[in-house]
Amino acid sequence: MGEPALARGIDLAAFSIALTMRLRAARIPVTEGGAAEFARALSALRPTSMSRLYWAARLTLVRRQTDLAGFDRVFLGVFGASLLAMDPNARRAPRDSHPDAPVAAFASRSGVESVEPHGVGLPWSTMPAVRVARERDDEGPSLPLRLPGRLEALEGRPFGQFREDELRALRSWLDRASVTWPQRRTRRRRRHPTGRRIALRETIARSRRTGWETLTIVRTRPVIRPRRMVMLCDVSQSMQPYSDVYLHLMRAAVTRGDAEVFAFSTRLTRLTAVLAHRSAEAAIAHANDKVVDRFGGTHIGGSVRALLASHHGSAVRGAVVLIASDGWDSDSPEELGAAMARLHRRAYRVVWLNPRAGATGFEPLVGAMAAALPYCDRFLAADTLIAVREALAVLGTAAWVGR
């Protein structure tokens, strides 16, 4: 007779959804497909130890290496401190008991050893043990944009698999979404009751009314202005499933922020004035008509060099530059590396959105992407709604505010 299953008597679907919701609360993106795979893995594997349960959850729920530490924190917090109510029948506990106390039955139902609070018993072979508590300063950017119910079920599906009606719903959401764009701190200051700096001149002037006794302290804070964004969208053949979505995203930046937008395939085309049209459908249609080299080859290095050499190159200075491309370039990697080095010296930040980065096992080790990566401040996947929301949260986070 084999070892007793750890999850015997547990509703696997409810357990999978509960753990998925806990991971999402910790800002670890988990798709519906991943939750379903985890439930199927539990059904087929029937884990007999916490180690087997850990790897079943990690291999099906975690998509990116950067989420491993957060996943370990959640897993250790759940099974080390018994914080997750996984069994629906356990919720019928008496009122005088601790609300999370019945959860310990999950680990003790089959007599399996519990997890030690510092990672003992867990397979930490690929990374060191992590603390359960998470400092507030270490939290990643939140995802403030809410999705409509129709798109919420599609947030983990790549854009290339969307149907036409689903793409229309996505474009409509991008046109209406309230996005927080990058900001900058100017040298001007204004009065504010919670400002950190004291305006000495105004404070002394007010004290003249009270016999030079300082009764009112005037505080100031910097004036915040939108930071310019320069956005370049790859519209070559390999970017066909994603370029339309990226153009709608860039149109939102033009209509609601301070942005310059360019499309490139074999040459660079400015689309700022075209995308500023009131109608989103008309703006995209005019943009498609203006880009005559759409779905052709790709010259990323030449396009970046052309931007810096044009009279629009001054717009890059102090701006957040967003490049949306899969990194397939007909130009030599050395040419792209030289152009990206100039761009990085002139821009405030350089962000690269690569839809291929969301694929399992993707590593930008060779070719143009490897040459450009050292000059990118952020390298993000942008193949799903989850990835796009993360990219928007990164762009709008307070960490981007600077001089």
- pLDDT score, position 340: 94
Number of separate helices (H) and strands (E) present in the chain: 15, 9
CA gap 177, 245 in Å, rounded: 13
Query: How open is the CA angle 172-225-170, to the nearest 5 degrees?
Result: 10
Cα(382)–Cα(391) distance, rounded to whole angstroms? 7
> Which stretch of 48-62, 88-102, 205-219 has the lowest confidence by average pLDDT?
88-102
Q: 278 CB contacts (<8 Å, ≥6 apart)?
A: none
Best CA proximity match to 103, nearest among 181, 7, 24: 7
Cα–Cα distance for residue pair 4/57, rounded to 1 Å: 19
pLDDT band, residue 118 (cuts 50/70/90):
very low
Higher pLDDT pick, 7 / 20: 20
Residue 320 forms beta bridges with which residues? 229, 349
Question: What are the structural domains, with CATH classification, of the chain?
Answer: 12-140 (no CATH), 171-181+227-400 (3.40.50.410), 185-224 (no CATH)
Contact in structure between 75 and 83 (CB atoms under 8 Å): no
Kindly tell me if the per-residue pLDDT of 332 is higher than 80.
yes
Query: Cβ(28)–Cβ(57) under 8 Å?
Result: no
Q: Using alpha carbons only, what angle is made at residue 244 by residues 243 and 247, rounded to the nearest 5 degrees?
A: 85
Mean pLDDT in residue range 44-67: 80
Strands 259-264 and 268-270: antiparallel
